[in-house]
Amino acid sequence: MNMKIAVLPGDGIGPEITAEAVRVLKALDLKFEFEEAPIGGAGYRALGHPLPESTLELARASDAILFGAVGDFSLDNLPRELRPEQAILGIRRALNLFANFRPAMVYPELVNASSLKPEVVAGLDLLIVRELTGDIYFGQPRGVQVLENGEREGFDTMRYKESEIRRVAQVAFEAARKRGRKLCSVDKSNVLETMQLWREIMIEVGKEYPDVELSHMYVDNAAMQLAYRPKQFDVIVTGNMFGDILSDEASMLTGSIGMLPSASLNEKNFGLYEPIHGSAPDIAGKGIANPLATILSAAMMLRYSLDQSAAADRIEGAVKQVLAQGYRTGDIAEPGRKTVGTREMGDAVVAAL
């Protein structure tokens, strides 16, 4: 049976980079059916809403979603609910995509792009699994209230239900199983009640995965260890707020925004796959964007949603090969070095396959 992929290119460089990822998928000996729909600013222009109902329907009817990026500065004056960026929040919520996967890898050829010493980051390959739909970002009550003395007080609430912790624990353990079988749960259980529950549930779920080594780390220490000895980690699982911060820190260890893929999954491993960067309006339409983050997102899609690990390995191997052959888009090239455009980079990956 064909695997149905919803292709949502979005804005800016989105259409250029998703086109290359689709070409790479088509070069595999697998059967896909691709269907495209507008989202973000493109959704608003075509159908009056950043997340049109027909786009959501297509996403629901597919086996996986390949997403480019959304964001269009010329629409920034629209009311908040019609801004392009609302589409990504809306689709995650609508499809209950509660687990965000952010790998950070350092390729030997790009080791100098990191701001850390090469020996600290060479060979780095870690995955951060961030819970995406709970925690202090969504917990009620929240607000700003006026106290009796007239002073204002802001408040938010950190909340996690047992079921929310358990389901993200399960996907993180499953992911660790597909990698180096080491999972580090990051919390703040020394100070926060919610995080004590988090740790308890992690330990409980860990009993179902005796083949995965579970460890725990406080978030302040994890932030230090990521910068100090990042290679000690295989998979990190953490809550929404801590994951927000740590995943950005981890991506900067690699120094190359145009190389990093991501996934957002539900409990059935259905997911949305996208590069971590935005729509890069400054270079849109010029044919110079780096398509590798999106191509690597397509590889993640094969591994996590479509059960095609061998094909995922092939794509990742092809990306390593083109880097070794010296292909560089402008964002990852050393000064003075020859660069290729989006299309040529896609061609090189297809040829390497």
Q: Which of 76, 178, 220, 228 is catalytic?
A: 220
Is the bond preceding residue 84 a cis peptide, omega within 30 degrees?
no
**φ, ψ for residue 287 (rounded to 5)?**
70, 25
Return the axis-axis angle of helices 14-26 and 292-304, rounded to nearest 10°. 50
Three-class SS state of 246: helix
DSSP label at 304?
Answer: H
- Binds ligand NAD by CB under 6 A, chosen from 3, 70, 121, 306: 70
3-class SS shares of the chain: helix, strand, coil, % to 5 = 45, 20, 35
CB of 13 to ligand NAD, least distance (A): 6
Is position 100 an interface residue for ligand NAD (rule: CB under 6 A)? Answer: no
Q: Which stretch binds ligand NAD (CB under 6 A): 105-113, 164-172, 280-288, 299-307?
A: 280-288
Torsion (CA) 330, 324, 123, 258 in degrees, nearest 10: 20
CB of 237 to ligand NAD, least distance (A): 21
CB of 196 to ligand NAD, least distance (A): 33
- Binds ligand NAD by CB under 6 A, chosen from 238, 266, 279, 305: 279
Q: What is the sign, positive or negative, of the torsion defined by CA atoms of 73, 75, 81, 87? A: negative
187 is catalytic: no
Is position 19 an interface residue for ligand NAD (rule: CB under 6 A)? Answer: no
Is position 130 an interface residue for ligand NAD (rule: CB under 6 A)? Answer: no
Site residues for ligand NAD, window 287-346 (CB under 6 A)?
Answer: 289-290, 293, 329, 331
- Give the nearer residue to ligand NAD in terms of CB position, either 137 or 218: 137
> C-alpha angle 248/333/11, rounded to 5°?
55
DSSP label at 249?
Answer: H
307 is catalytic: no
**CB 121, CB 109: distance < 8 Å:** no
Block residue for tokens 């007080």: 153
89 is written with which tokens? 């929040």
Is position 281 an interface residue for ligand NAD (rule: CB under 6 A)? Answer: yes
- Give the nearer residue to ligand NAD in terms of CB position, either 98 or 233: 98
CB of 147 to ligand NAD, least distance (A): 35
Distance of CA 35 to the CA centre of its chain: 22
Q: Which of 72, 188, 209, 234 is catalytic?
A: 188
Say which residues have a Cβ less than 8 Å from residue 97's Cβ, sequence separation at least 6.
91, 132, 133, 264, 265, 266, 270, 271, 272
**φ, ψ for residue 107 (rounded to 5)?**
-85, 145
Is position 277 an interface residue for ligand NAD (rule: CB under 6 A)? Answer: yes
211 is catalytic: no
188 is catalytic: yes
CB of 28 to ligand NAD, least distance (A): 22
Say which residues have a Cβ less than 8 Å from residue 317's Cβ, sequence separation at least 6.
352
Cβ burial of 321 (10 Å; 0-12, 13-18, 19+) is middle
Q: Which stretch binds ligand NAD (CB under 6 A): 43-51, 58-66, 201-209, 275-283?
A: 275-283
Site residues for ligand NAD, window 234-273 (CB under 6 A)?
Answer: 257-258
Q: Which of 248, 286, 307, 313 is catalytic?
A: 248
CA 76, CA 85: separation in Å to the nearest integer?
A: 10
Q: Which of 4, 125, 137, 156 is catalytic?
A: 137
Residues within the interface to ligand NAD (CB under 6 A):
13, 17, 69-71, 85, 88, 257-258, 274, 277-283, 289-290, 293, 329, 331
Mind telling me the catalytic residues?
137, 188, 220, 244, 248
